[in-house]
Amino acid sequence: GQNIDQPTEMTATEGAIVQINCTYQTSGFNGLFWYQQHAGEAPTFLSYNVLDGLEEKGRFSSFLSRSKGYSYLLLKELQMKDSASYLCAAMDSNYQLIWGAGTKLIIKP
């Protein structure tokens, strides 16, 4: 079956760095997406990886290892506004997104 695993909740300190891991098992693979979702709002796109390696975009970076079925989202210089849920989603061979349950990130001062 198809499956996405990510931690349910993480806590970090303002100004620090946090890494949110995601492992996936899908029928075929057409890329890995990360979305940010604040409470009561719809998700917003953060990143897309289809090749192995690290993609950096400002304070956020995303890494992919296709051979390991593994990705992580790295958030640097954490700000209070980064408190949100982070959703990992893998696209299968039918171009359908398989969603993880999300990781709730709590930022403390």
Partner 1 sequence: GAVVSQHPSWVICKSGTSVKIECRSLDFQATTMFWYRQFPKQSLMLMATSNEGSKATYEQGVEKDKFLINHASLTLSTLTVTSAHPEDSSFYICSASWGEVGEQYFGPGTRLTVT
**CB closer to partner 1 out of 41 and 56:** 41
**CB closer to partner 1 out of 74 and 98:** 98
**CB closer to partner 1 out of 63 and 86:** 86
Q: How far apart are CA 39 and CA 17, in angstroms?
A: 22
Minimum gap (Å) between residue 27 Cβ and partner 1: 15
**CB closer to partner 1 out of 16 and 101:** 101
Minimum gap (Å) between residue 85 Cβ and partner 1: 8
The residues that touch partner 1, with contacts defined as CB under 8 A, are 30-31, 33, 35, 40-45, 48, 50, 87, 91, 95-97, 99-102
Burial profile 18-38: b = 16 or more Cβ within 10 angstroms, e = fewer: bebebbbebeebebbbbbbee
Q: How far apart are CA 71 and CA 53, in angstroms?
A: 9
Minimum gap (Å) between residue 15 Cβ and partner 1: 27
Minimum gap (Å) between residue 50 Cβ and partner 1: 8
Instruction: Specify the 3-state DSSP secondary structure of 81.
Output: helix
